[in-house]
Structures are given as structure tokens and as C-alpha cells.
Amino acid sequence: MIGQRVLRVEDKRFLRGEGRYVADIALPFMREAYVLRSPQPHAKIVSFDASAALALEGVDAVYTAADLPASLTPIPCRIPTHGDMTPFLQYPLARDVVRFVGEPIAVIVASSRALAEDAAELVAIEFEPLPVVADAAAALDPATPKMYPPGNIATQWGFDLGKVDDAFAQADIVVEKSFSIQRHSAMPLETRGLIASYDKARSYLEVWGPTKVPHTNRAMLARMLGMRDGDIRFAEPDVGGSFGARGEFYPEDIFIPYFAMKLGKPIRWIEDRQEHFASINHSRECTFDVKASANKDGRITAFDVVLVADLGAYIRTHGDVVPSHAAASFPGPYAIRNYRVKATAALSNKTPSGTLRAPGMFEANFAREQIIDMMAEKLGMDRAEIRRRNLIKPDEMPWYVGTQSVNRPTLFDSGDFPGLFEESVSHFGWSAPLAKGEGPVRRGRGIVALVEPSGFGPFESARIEIDPAGFATIFTGASNQGQGHETMLPQVAAEVLGIAHDRFRVRHGDTAMIPYGGGSYASRTAVMGANAVHRAALAVKAKALAAAAQMLQAKEEELTLDGGRVIVTANPSRFVTLAHIARVLTPGNAELVPAPKDFIKDDHDGLTGEVFLRAIPSGTAVFSVHMADVALDIGTGELKIERYCVSGDVGRAINPMIVEGQLVGGVAQGIGGALLEELAYDEDGNLQTGSFADYLLPSSHEVPRIEALVVEKAKSLSNDLGVKGCGEIGISGVAAVLANAIAHALGTGARPTTLPLTAERLLDLVEPRP
Amino acid sequence: MKPAPFDYEAPTTIADALKLLGGHEDARPIAGGQSLVPMLAFRLARPSLLVDLNRIPSLAGIEEKGGVLRIGAMTRQAAVLASDTVKHHAPLLIQALENVGHPPTRARGTIGGSCAHADPAAELPSAMVALDATMVIAASGGERRVPADDFFIGAFETVLQTGEILVALELPKQTGGSAFLEVSARKGDFGIVTVAARIAVKDGRCTDAALVLGGITERSVRCAQAEHILKEQGATPKAIDVALAALPLDTVTMDSRLASAAYRRRLIPELCRRAIEAATTSKVAL
């Protein structure tokens, strides 16, 4: 089953509109919540009057920070950071100061969402505006008023590896350039949402809607509210996308459950799209000042990078992980030992930030891969050739970059980077001539190489249960936002157990069913989730063989598990089915464990297998090459992507169709980030994007057919299946390769260094504005 | 994103609709709802009463009579786009519609709704101006007819008065070949700059010319001077250069994050040149 292009079993319900998302769930006596958010980027709350709102028929309550427990802490950061970030953490509801447009101030609970919104218009809040820190540049300016007593900089750190200054002094060429990546974020088709219901007498709080890391978030809620983990159930329904942003622990994740407890009625909160723009973790906004050097032979000798990231108004659960990853991984798949980076995480009066698919890597690739093209141009060297000469070689693996991010070493466990590179270049026809541009059209070709970490731990769990009818249930600690777990995980178990793929169900994301789960992030499900399922299946197999040996009165080594049956290898007419074994191993079944005569004893625990896996901290490295041909209209600046090919060495593809889908979807999303998407603010800190009319996502017209070249060259050496995560390589190189192709099309040395690459910006590169 | 409370009526005759619209303060007609529904959701529009025009059969339909094409205001954009009658009579309208939204929005969006909404970056108002359309307006006192160029006043502003409904658009048979070009952030988006061009050339002479810009200011702009030059001097390369030098670049007032005024000014001559050339070489030249 592993390696087969099994159609996704979950697609049937998604395509028929039969998915059950959080907004499809309703409970008796349920009320609806609306979160009243700050219209001010930075202001003191002078007065708050909800009396008119409360007078409206159908309004239950208008809750503010004063209604939360007095002892409540801000939402903690769950990831190791550079230094202490506690001064910058966010309280679930603003207390006396708001620091970004969209910060929750109050929660209106009413009989309907529309009524809650009517009530919101009746709440009178008086603000006293405070000076606004508009962006990172302002944050770095000592003259700017401080948002927090420690200032407007959350942290600064860096690495200084090898001898960077010596390398620059000795190099044949040195190039420098600055790059700017715009603020944008995940736009899951389904916005966030929660339903919380509390059984006070039994002390049981149930929350539907959590995803990504439900167990981590449940523990965080329990800790913040002083509750027991076991008194809280988090349940993940169908989820329409996360991309790293949805499923983090947000202010709503504490105050919706808490106010449901306080009100004594279930509360549902469904984020609308306008809220989403202001409240979901933003991401990506940063600048790189890059200096790089190389020798005449194309050997890159040093990178020197100044990275400044704008993290927004508060530090959230992700801390400074995005610039941290960018700083740790900037050298990419190249063997470079002289590397210096100085990173700054600045604060501004904008929505706080977190990760977005390929966090820090999309950004770093955009800067590094352009600098490499600049070096190739200066050396008069082919752009593939310069990469070829610098890629880390298989015999140099494992490769330790020399940096760390969130306490994990940046370590590439395995890989044949040159092998995939040559296969990609040859597949695309890198050296084939470009079609001539007709009229105002100029054509260009780009190439980038990148490496993504994948499969981060720390752990993952899996439990497989075979029932007496021969059906199997997989309980996975991985959570699911549409990636295909329900198809892919059974393929892995079916490979071991020989049970037909369609006899499996997959349960996930429910803390009542799954005691410990890692979740879904960092392209980890194939690596951690599937390996856990694989070992759980092996445990089931071992148990089945042991039981079958007794049932068939044979030795275990005389038996084979084949097609859902355990057979006597020498005499295949003698067999027992897994269903039969499951029946025999059912607790209370007397066939193999007769009732004790005078004292209790252990019984069977079913035909089950349960596994908890620990990962190596650095995960497993996945290498990728992106290539694209573009056509640039030099009369209008319009860009057409004429061809796009992304390749990835995933070690082993459990379901090649799903892997290709991840690559193609990643590229499509990356095209949005490269060309269109921006969470824009004016200079006064007001968010300018409030709908999909001004936050532009790519459509089928902007996304060309994308070729995905999935290669199984270098198996991961750090897990049983040899798999590497494929979720992020698709998006990671898009801005970089399009920028390189555009620069090639221009052919003048001009280079698009500011994202998004709008037609206007590209036309500006054609020649200076008249 | 839930609308403020409003009342709702769905009359089945124009007379009833006019009565409802005239009888309520802040009543608003709703056609395909592709603009108004989002505005309601954002509470940018807060009518006391929505008068739904979707159940008035006489408001929809395409009919050619005596050289005049009459399109009912409630005719769906998709129906217009698919109409052979329109294609033969006013190909510029088809060319414009190809840039309007997507199949789902065109399936609901109406030809009259877009005109009455008068978004300054919408394609249909420019097409109507370039096609010398006549807008047929009904009120309880009777009908009036307004040339398209006089119908559009400003951003989201037309000559329609409270209690009036745009009931139909009347188009003379298109003279000349045509082209509709635009630059937009994505296919189907409102234009950053749109150009509707209609050029009639006979025996080497330019007998009629319409050149209309959209997306640049509060309403569509007819390039009268450039049209005049083309008509005087013919659509020769030299005359086109002269005409392009006479484009009303100083009318550009739209200046936004997604496209600056300078960018729009730079696009106008480029798109106009391409549109004029396409219109003069258009296969559908009439």
C-alpha cells in the first residue's frame, strides 16, 4: 500500500459539502459570541459603557477583562525564545491599553451573531490615543516612544561562524543587496471557530474547534484556568486549513471556554473573515541586508546577514521562531562555513505574528537565492552551475550548519542534493533556449535550490485497534486540517497488516480518545505520525502472531501475516483471520484466557497496538529545486508564469498523489505570497485589508499548471520508513524563483527585491518612472 | 459581518417595486447582489427596506428591434455574455464582460445592477459609454431615457433618483471594430485601468471613434480629444501617436495601495495604443 496513489477517502465528504466543521455543530441552549475588537492601533481605554448593549433583548452578557479571573496570566509562549519575552505577552482581553487594531476588548454573548453585532454598535468606548510604532524601522529608532517599559525590541541575537571578515577580504567578488518581505498570513477557507460547553456538576469542559496542537492547547487552558487536564476535552472537527496559523492558542481559546463556564450555557464563536485579517497570526514581515562573497570558481565563501523582523504588538505562542528559523537556516543547502547573522525581532502596533507554512524559509530563500544569482551574473557563470558548485555533497552528510533554532541544531541528517539537482535541471531542460518574446513580452527563467527541515518532534503517538469484525481504527496524535491523514495513515498500517485500506477509520484531534498527541506542524505527519502508525501496526502484528501461534498450535516463526490472515507458512490452508484473533483477544473471551478460579488476573487488551515515538530534535532535511519560466509585459508590468516545476526528494512517498498535491498546493499558495497577498497597514497603524477584495489570493487564472517531480533518492536515516516531510517545500521557493526569473527577463541587472511583486513594482524595474 | 436589520419585499411587477421604493425612506433595490450583499455584511449599506427585483420577469431579457438592442436591467451578465444577439450587435459588450468577475458572480450579477451601482472601476459603465447606450429609467410618473455618458455622475453615483429603477439598456448597433483591455491585479478583478475602444474605419477614413477610460477617477472618462484626432486624421500610426499624446492623463485621481496614480498614468497610453490597434484590426469590425 505504501507508494500507491490511493484516492483520498476524505475528499468525498469535502467535495459533497458533507464535511462537519465547527460551525456545523450546534448544542442545546447554545449562544453566539461576537468579539469586540480595538479600532485603535495604540490607545488607553479611558471608559467602557455597555449598558445600551445589555439593554437589547436577547443579549446575555458583555464580558471584559474584568470578568476574567483576576489571577489570569497573559498567554504564554510555548516555544523557546532568545531571551525573556514575558514583558510582551498578550492578555486574552485588553485591560487598560490596546496595542493593535483587532485586539479583543470585550465579548458580546447573545441569542444570535447578528444580534451580538447589533449590540456591539451600542457599546461606547472612549480611547486616548497613544503614539504608534508603525513598523520595525520606527521600533529601531531610539527616538520612538516605547510601547513597553523595556522598549520596542523583543530580542536580538546572532551567529558568527567561521571567519566572515577574512572571507570577504580574500574573495574575488562581493555582492550586497537588501530584500523586503511583506506581512501576509494563512487564509484557510474555514476561519477559526470554537464551541465551548461546560457540565458544571461533573466539572467537564468540552471544546470543539481546536486543531493543530489540541493537547498542548488543552494543557495551556488547564494551566491558565487552574483546571485539571482531565476535566477538559478538546475535539477537532473537520478543519478547513491551518498552514501553521490556525490552531495556535489565541485569546479566544481561553475566553470563549471561560465565558461558557461563567454563563452556564454553551457558547459558539465563529470568526468572520474581517476578524480573521486582524486577529489571525500574521507572518513573514522582515528585511534582509545581505552581503555575500565568492571566488572566481564560483565557490561561495561567506554570507553576512542583517535580519530585522516585525513581530507586531505582542509575543504570542510562537515567540520569535520565524526569524529564528530564517537566521538558523539562511545558508540553505550550500556548504558554507563562514556565516554571520545579526537578527532583531522588533515590535510594532500591528497584529502579533506566528508561523506560516515554511516559516522563515520562504523569506530567507527569497534573499539568498537572489544573492546567488547576483554572484553568478558578476562571475559570468551559469546560474545552475554556481549552485551545483556549492551544494552540500552526500558524503558530507550529516551536515551541521552550526546554528540552532528553538534549541534544535540545524542539522541535515541525509540527502543527495546534487542528485536531485541534476535530475530537476534535466527534467526541466534548464539549458533549452527560451521562446523569444514577441512585442512587449520579455521571457526569463529562474532556478532556486532549498532545504527544509521536516518532521520535528518531540513525540507522536498512534494506537491501532482491530475489532472482532476485522475493521481497524487508527487513533493518531497527529491533527488534521485537510492534508490527507485519513488516507495516508491507513496505507502505512495496511502495508503491515494486509487489511484492506477501506476497512480503516482514522480518529484524530480528540483528547478524550487520544491521551497524548503531538499535532500537525513542521511537515511532521508523514515523519512522526506515519512512523508511529507503522510501529503500532508492527505491535498489532506481533500480538496477532503470538495469539495465532496458540490458536493454530504452531510456533510463531512458522507463521506469516498475509492479507489480513495469519497462515501456517508451510500449509496455507491452516489460518486464522485478524478478525478471529481480535475476537479471541477481546477482554472476557475465555478461549485463550479462561476465568481464574480463585484470584483476579490480567486479561487480554484486544488486538491493539499503541506506540509513542520520540524524534531526533533536528528532524529530517528535505531538499527541493524550483524552476520557472515567466513572461513579463514591459508595457504594463504584468507577469505570466508560463511554466513551473517543483521537485522534492521526500525519501519515500507514502502516497505520491498526496505528495504531489502538497507540492502543487504549496506553489499555488506561494504564488499568492510572491505576487499578491499583503496585510497592509497605513502609517498610523490601521490595517488596510479587511476583505478578499483587497487581500488578493491567487485564482486559477494566476496559478499555472505546476509540474511536481517527486523523487525518492535519499531515504531519511532517522526513521523506519525513510520518509521526509513534504508540506513546505512547495511554498518555500516560490518568491525566490519568480524573482530570479523576472530579473533574468529584465536582463538589465535590475532585480525585484520587495514583495509582493506587483505589476506596478515590476514596471518600475523596466525603467525609472517617467 | 452580519447585516444590520432590514425589511425585505419581493414584488413581481415594476409598478409594485416603484411603489415600495417610493414609499419608504432608505429603501434600496437589490438586483444580483454581488456588490450590495457584501456592503450589507460590512454594514456599509444600511437600508431600511430591500426591494428585491429578482422576481420581476419583465425586467430581464434581450431583444433586438429596429436596429436597437434592448437588454433588460435584470438580465444576468452570464446571459448577456452567452448571447449571440449581443455578440453580433454589440461585440464590445461581450469583450467588456469577459473581464467582469467570474462565472459564479456573472451568474448572479446583472447588467443593470452593475451600471446602477456605478463602481468607478467597473467595466460595464465604460462599455455603455463607448457603445452610446441609452439608459431607460422608470419612475411612478413614467419612463425617461438618459444617454450613458450623462447617466454616470461619480463614484457610486448616477442620475437615478430615489424611487426610480433602471429598467433597461438600449444599444444602437455597434459601428466599428472594438476592443476592451484592462490591467487588473487578478483576472476578473476591477480594473486598475480599463480601456474601451471602438473605431470605425471606412475607405481608410475613420468614421467613428470611441475611447473610454475606466478605473482612473470617479467615473468613466471619454477621451474626446483623442477621438476627435482619430476621426480627423484617421487611425494611422501617426494619428494614433498624436491621439495618444492627447489623452486626459490629468484626470487620474485614483491613487491606492494596489495601484498608484503614476502607475495608472503610465498604463493609459500603453493600453490605449493596444486597444486602438486591436479595434482597428478587429475581426468583428462592422
pLDDT per residue as tens digits for the range B258-278: 999 999 999 999 999 999 999
Q: Mean per-residue pLDDT for A361-370?
A: 98
Nearest to A307 by CA among A358, A256, A268, A342: A342
Query: pLDDT category, A438, cuts 50, 70, 90?
Result: confident
A152's CB contacts (< 8 A; 6+ apart) are A133, A138, A139, A140, A144, A146, A346, A347, A348
**Stretch(es) of chain A classified as CATH 3.90.1170.50:** 11-130+191-238+246-279
**CA-based Rg of chain A, rounded to a whole angstrom?**
28
Residue A479: helix, strand or coil by DSSP? Answer: coil
Q: Please count the other Cβ atoms lying within 10 Å of the Cβ belonging to residue A446.
A: 25
How does pLDDT run across B151-180, given as a tens digit for each residue?
999 999 999 999 999 999 999 999 999 999
What percentage of chain B carries pLDDT values higher than 90? 94
CB B62 within 8 A of CB B22: no
Residue linked to cell 499548471: A705
State the Cα–Cα distance between residues A387 and A372, nearest whole angstrom.
8
**Which residues does chain B have within 8 Å of residue A680's beta carbon, measured at their own beta carbons?**
257
Q: Mean per-residue pLDDT for A232-253?
A: 97
Domain topology for A286-392+416-455+619-766: Aldehyde Oxidoreductase; domain 4 (3.30.365)
Q: Mean per-residue pLDDT for A126-141?
A: 98
Question: Given this model, what pLDDT does residue B34 score?
Answer: 96
Q: Mean per-residue pLDDT for A597-603?
A: 96
Nearest to B263 among A273, A688, A760 (CB): A760
Q: Which residue of A has its CA nearest to B40?
A: A114
Contact residues, A window 255-274, toward B, CB-based 8 Å cutoff: 272-274
Residue A572 Cα, gap to closest chain B Cα (Å): 59
The answer, yes or no, to whether residue A767 has pLDDT greater than 80, is no
DSSP state, A670? H
Q: Mean per-residue pLDDT for B92-110?
A: 98
Interface check B263 vs A, CB under 8 A? yes
**Which residues does chain B have within 8 Å of residue A23's beta carbon, measured at their own beta carbons?**
none
Q: Mutating which of B99, B182, B186, B260 best tests the A interface, going by the most A Cβ atoms within 10 A?
A: B186
Residue B268 Cα, gap to closest chain A Cα (Å): 10
C-alpha dihedral, B251 to B255 to B261 to B267, nearest 10°: -90
Does the pTM exceed 0.95? yes
Residue A411 Cα, gap to closest chain B Cα (Å): 40
Q: How many CB pairs under 8 A join A and B?
A: 63
Domain topology for A11-130+191-238+246-279: Aldehyde Oxidoreductase; domain 3 (3.90.1170)
How does pLDDT run across A696-722, given as a tens digit for each residue?
999 999 999 999 999 999 999 999 999
The residue type found at B216 is I
State the Cα–Cα distance between residues A238 and A309, nearest whole angstrom.
33
Interface check A640 vs B, CB under 8 A? no
Residue A232: helix, strand or coil by DSSP? Answer: strand
Q: Is the dihedral of CA A754, A759, A765, A768 positive or negative?
A: negative
Nearest to A424 by CA among A444, A449, A403: A449
Q: Mean per-residue pLDDT for A628-657?
A: 98
How does pLDDT run across A371-393, given as a tens digit for each residue?
999 999 999 999 999 999 999 99
DSSP state, A90? P
Nearest to A688 among B5, B186, B257 (CB): B257
Q: For the residues of A13-44, what is the DSSP string, one character each? A: HHHTT----GGG---TT-EEEEEEE-S-SSEE
Residue A370: helix, strand or coil by DSSP? Answer: helix
Nearest to A274 among B1, B258, B263 (CB): B1
**Stretch(es) of chain A classified as CATH 3.30.365.10:** 286-392+416-455+619-766, 459-614
Q: Which domains does chain B have, with CATH numbers?
A: 7-55 (3.30.43.10), 57-172 (3.30.465.10), 177-280 (3.30.390.50)
Residue A207: helix, strand or coil by DSSP? Answer: strand
The answer, yes or no, to whether residue B285 has pLDDT greater than 70, is no
Residue A100 burial (CB < 10 Å; 0-12/13-18/19+)? buried
Interface check A342 vs B, CB under 8 A? no
**Which residues does chain A have within 8 Å of residue B186's beta carbon, measured at their own beta carbons?**
676, 696, 698-699, 701-702
Question: Given this model, what pLDDT does residue A768 score?
Answer: 62
How does pLDDT run across A316-330, given as a tens digit for each residue?
999 999 999 999 999
Q: Mutating which of A633, A760, A763, A765 best tests the B interface, going by the most B Cβ atoms within 10 A?
A: A760
**CA-based Rg of chain B, rounded to a whole angstrom?**
19
Q: Mean per-residue pLDDT for B193-217?
A: 95
Query: pLDDT category, B25, cuts 50, 70, 90?
Result: confident
Q: Which residue of B has its CA nearest to A114?
A: B2
User: Is A636's CB within 8 Å of B257's CB?
Assistant: no
Residue B66 Cα, gap to closest chain A Cα (Å): 40
Q: For the residues of chain B, what is the DSSP string, one character each? A: --PPP-EEE--SSHHHHHHHHHHSTTEEEESS-TTHHHHHHTTS---SEEEEGGG-GGG--EEEETTEEEEETT-BHHHHHT-HHHHHH-HHHHHHHTTSS-HHHHHH-BHHHHHHHT-TT-HHHHHHHHTT-EEEEEETTEEEEEEHHHHEEETTEESPPTT-EEEEEEEEPPPSEEEEEEE-SSTTSPPSEEEEEEEEEETTEEEEEEEEEESSSSS-EE-HHHHHHHHHH-S-HHHHHHHHHTS-GGG----BTTB-HHHHHHHHHHHHHHHHHHHHT-TT--
Interface check B3 vs A, CB under 8 A? yes
State the Cα–Cα distance between residues A147 and A99, nearest whole angstrom.
8
What rounded mean pLDDT belongs to chain A? 97
Nearest to B185 among A121, A274, A696 (CB): A696
Query: pLDDT category, A757, cuts 50, 70, 90?
Result: very high
User: Is A702's CB within 8 Å of B186's CB?
Assistant: yes
B181's CB contacts (< 8 A; 6+ apart) are B194, B195, B197, B271, B274, B275, B278
Dump strand ranges (E) for A217-324: 232-235, 267-270, 286-294, 300-310
Q: Mean per-residue pLDDT for A393-405?
A: 97
Residue B82 Cα, gap to closest chain A Cα (Å): 21
User: Is A118's CB within 8 Å of B4's CB?
Assistant: yes
Nearest to B36 by CA among B51, B24, B55: B51
Interface check A23 vs B, CB under 8 A? no
User: Is B259's CB within 8 Å of A635's CB?
Assistant: no
Backbone angles phi, psi at A64, to 5 degrees: -130, -175
User: Is A635's CB within 8 Å of B263's CB?
Assistant: no
B70's CB contacts (< 8 A; 6+ apart) are B62, B63, B64, B136, B168, B169, B170, B171
Query: pLDDT category, B283, cuts 50, 70, 90?
Result: low
Q: Mean per-residue pLDDT for A725-738?
A: 98
**Which residues does chain B have within 8 Å of residue A763's beta carbon, measured at their own beta carbons?**
263, 266
Residue A385: helix, strand or coil by DSSP? Answer: helix
Interface check A767 vs B, CB under 8 A? no
Domain topology for A459-614: Aldehyde Oxidoreductase; domain 4 (3.30.365)
Residue A277: helix, strand or coil by DSSP? Answer: helix
Please give the grid coordinates belonging to residue A566: 495469519
Residue B170 Cα, gap to closest chain A Cα (Å): 31
The answer, yes or no, to whether residue A462 has pLDDT greater than 60, is yes
Q: Mean per-residue pLDDT for B49-72?
A: 97
Residue A470: helix, strand or coil by DSSP? Answer: coil
Q: Mutating which of A636, A640, A686 best tests the B interface, going by the most B Cβ atoms within 10 A?
A: A636
Q: Mean per-residue pLDDT for A487-508?
A: 96
Q: Which residue of B has its CA nearest to A679?
A: B257
The residue type found at B40 is L
A67's CB contacts (< 8 A; 6+ apart) are A61, A259, A262
For residue A685, the cross-strand partners are none
Please give the grid coordinates belonging to residue B74: 435584470
CA angle (A437 as vertex; A702, A750 as ends), nearest 5: 75
The answer, yes or no, to whether residue B286 has pLDDT greater than 60, is no
User: Is A114's CB within 8 Å of B2's CB?
Assistant: yes
**Which residues does chain B have within 8 Å of residue A701's beta carbon, measured at their own beta carbons?**
186-188
Nearest to B263 among A273, A635, A763 (CB): A763
Q: Mean per-residue pLDDT for A409-433?
A: 97
Query: pLDDT category, A769, cuts 50, 70, 90?
Result: very low
Residue A233: helix, strand or coil by DSSP? Answer: strand
Please give the grid coordinates belonging to residue A69: 479571573
DSSP state, A265? S
User: Is A638's CB within 8 Å of B183's CB?
Assistant: yes
CB A387 within 8 A of CB A372: yes
Question: Given this model, what pLDDT does residue A770 score?
Answer: 44
Pairing of strands A43-49, A97-98: antiparallel
Q: Mean per-residue pLDDT for A163-184?
A: 98
Q: How far is CA B3 from the centre of its chain?
A: 27
